[in-house]
Amino acid sequence: MSVKHIILGSLMNGPAHGYSLRSGMASKVLAEFGINDGQLYPLLKKMTSEGLIEKEIEYRDSGPNRHNYNITAAGRTEFIQWLKSADGEERGFRYEMIRKDGFLNKCMYFGFLDADFSAEKTGRQINETKTTIEDFKKAYDDMKSRNFDTLHLMIVKYCIMSQETRLKWLLELKEEISMTKDISP
């Protein structure tokens, strides 16, 4: 998924201003793509010049004017074409999971580390994963309270389940490290 499609997908639900894109549901996804304010607003400008979105300025008496963005017919067509395509759905993902997870990459070599250090490092991952689960649960509850459609809720539910599986595995890993430490000479 490209940042352009994240923005178009957000605007399919209705107009939004730049700040709401930065602080709303899409914000964490944009952050994952490494998109900050210095990149978001030029991208919005580019998408406007490409005719995918249009900007409407809301003049306000107090505070700065608000720039609202709406998806255009061309933007909708672009988004639907991307949605129907198979782009990014290939199962090459099988090894991407390992390749893109720095902890899993390092985990393969824990035998070169002191078991206590490996256990401590795994403990930090456990805490981070618990925090991620809580973040997803809060997002789920918030989305549910705002009557998001079932499909969006199911995606967040998948994320929760995926992280819960990771947590279970991390706990088993930590136990395995502990057992290895107990039998080491």
- Could you give the C-alpha distances from 99 to 2, 31, 72, 102, 126, in angstroms and in order? 20, 20, 37, 7, 20
Q: Which residues pair with 170 in a beta bridge?
A: none
pLDDT of residue 35: 67
Taking 90 as the threshold, does the pLDDT of residue 22 lie above it? no
Distance CA 44, CA 49 (A): 9
pLDDT of residue 185: 46
Render pLDDT for 99-140 as a digit per residue (tens, 0 to 9): 778 898 888 888 888 899 999 999 999 999 999 999 999 989
Report the candidate in 106, 128, 129, 97 with the shortest Cα–Cα distance to residue 177. 106
Render pLDDT for 141-175 as a digit per residue (tens, 0 to 9): 998 998 888 998 999 999 999 999 999 999 999 99
Taking 90 as the threshold, does the pLDDT of residue 37 lie above it? no
